[in-house]
A and B are shown apart, each in its own frame.
Chain A
Amino acid sequence: MKIDKKKSLHYLKVSLVLGGIASISALLIAVSYMICQPIIEENEYKRLVQSLANIYGDDKTYEELGSIDDSSYSYLNAYYSASKDDELIGYVFSSEGSNQYGSISMLTGINPNGEVDKIYLLTNDQTYPDKIQNDYVDPFNKGEISLDDIYIGATFGAELIKNMANQASQYYMENVLKQ
């Protein structure tokens, strides 16, 4: 009986110490989270607006029109309008998709006719990011190749970009143009 009490006291002390350590750590983490999280979100928003300017230039005003939660348009996140002096230049769709090599998040510029104008990659975790940028995205933006010329040696990444851009265009034709 005496041994049991000593052992249970020992276990109680051990669990108290562990609990104390866990609560100290949780307190420190919570304090730093409260300090850092607003800054992280603000930086993300600033980077988003700065990158939206890559599609149509930074002399346009960009306005968020809405977020897209439709599961049949699984890549798309939100869309924005780009206008200069109250004249509508085009629309920008932000989308995110992934395949077995990683995820890509990008912006697609759609002109008022529904055609894909420009593509800008925000993050590219694929295995050949430079190849995708130099051999697919840059020539497409200059107008030298079309969206279907995906056989550049990093085929899966290029195909993912093509699918995301086409989905943005499709969403525009079916939902926005009809309004």
Chain B
Amino acid sequence: MERIKNKKLQNLFKGIIKENPLFVSVLGTCPALATTTSIEGAIGMGVLFSIVLICSNILISLLRKLISEEITTPAYIVVIAAFVTIVKLFSNAFLFELYSTLGVFISLIVVNCIVLGRAEAYASKNNVLDSLLDAIGMGIGYTLALLSISCIREILGSGMISFGKILTFIPRFDIPILKYVNSVGEVVYDYSIPLFVQPSGAFIVFGAILAIISAITSFKNSRKKIKEKIMLKEAK
């Protein structure tokens, strides 16, 4: 029982760090660079993406015995597109500001490589519970990745973290970090770098994060190699 529970937890957590869909297998980058100009937009995009991923994984895993080899592609596309349409309708009705900020990128979840990739690689071969855990893990990982990029971009680029502009059920307030506009409207101090809310800033932040991750990975690998060498020497 303990081993099974551990395996399922490992399934859940692998999507967050070890196989993070955005940073490790570089997939689904189009929304990552375009919707991360504000923290709220990134959270909204991540949540909507996770909903589509979870629902489509469940349905495809339920139907995996019936779908034969030839019709995998159109079947997956129809299922994923149906869930994206449902998510669009609901966000148009209840979260209108989020819908008009994200715009086309909600529809682009259909062709997101992560959703299609997970459906083909995992949900078509495993049972419902495993696919559900996998989807939850991938969704949380993607949302955290989007959140990290958007934190850097918003703090450095516009100087303050604003809440309540896009997700309107949160009360509207700003946390001033690099830029402070007092209640009259005049700018008290402004040290923000507007480059980071432009498209080029997105590329810079994403490239820097990938470089940091690759440096950490190679450092870990070199330490592992040194440890192995020491153990081999001691064994002699």
Q: CB within 8 Å of B: which residues of A?
A: 10, 13-14, 17-18, 20-22, 24-26, 28-29, 32-33, 35-37, 39-40, 43
Q: Does B183 contact A (CB under 8 A)?
A: no
Contact B96 A17 (CB under 8 A): no
Residues in B whose Cβ lies below 8 Å from that of A13: 68
Contact B86 A28 (CB under 8 A): yes
Given contacts A28-B82, A28-B86, contact A21 B63 (CB under 8 A): yes
Residues in A whose Cβ lies below 8 Å from that of B96: 43
| Smallest CB-CB A-B distances: 7 pairs | A25-B82, A36-B93, A39-B93, A36-B89, A32-B86, A17-B66, A40-B93
Q: Does B214 contact A (CB under 8 A)?
A: no
Contact B89 A32 (CB under 8 A): yes
Residues in A whose Cβ lies below 8 Å from that of B90: 32, 36
Contact A43 B93 (CB under 8 A): yes
Q: Does B26 contact A (CB under 8 A)?
A: no
Looking at chain A's contact residues, the main secondary structure is helix
CA distance A55 to B81 in the complex (A): 41
Contact B71 A18 (CB under 8 A): yes
Q: How far is the CB of B37 from chain A (nearest CB, A)?
A: 15
Contact A21 B89 (CB under 8 A): no
B70 contact from A14, A32, A35, Cβ within 8 A? A14
Q: How far is the CB of B63 from chain A (nearest CB, A)?
A: 7
Residues in B whose Cβ lies below 8 Å from that of A35: 93
Contact B66 A18 (CB under 8 A): no
CA distance A13 to B90 in the complex (A): 34
Q: How far is the CB of B197 from chain A (nearest CB, A)?
A: 13
* Chain B residue at minimum C-beta to C-beta distance from A32: B86
Contact sample, A vs B, 15 pairs, CB 8 Å cutoff: A10-B68, A14-B68, A17-B75, A21-B67, A21-B75, A21-B79, A25-B82, A26-B82, A28-B83, A28-B86, A33-B89, A36-B92, A37-B89, A37-B93, A40-B92
CA distance A155 to B67 in the complex (A): 55
Residues in B whose Cβ lies below 8 Å from that of A22: 78
Which of A14, A21, A25, A40 counts the most B-chain CB atoms under 10 A from its CB? A21
Which of B59, B71, B93, B94 counts the most A-chain CB atoms under 10 A from its CB? B93
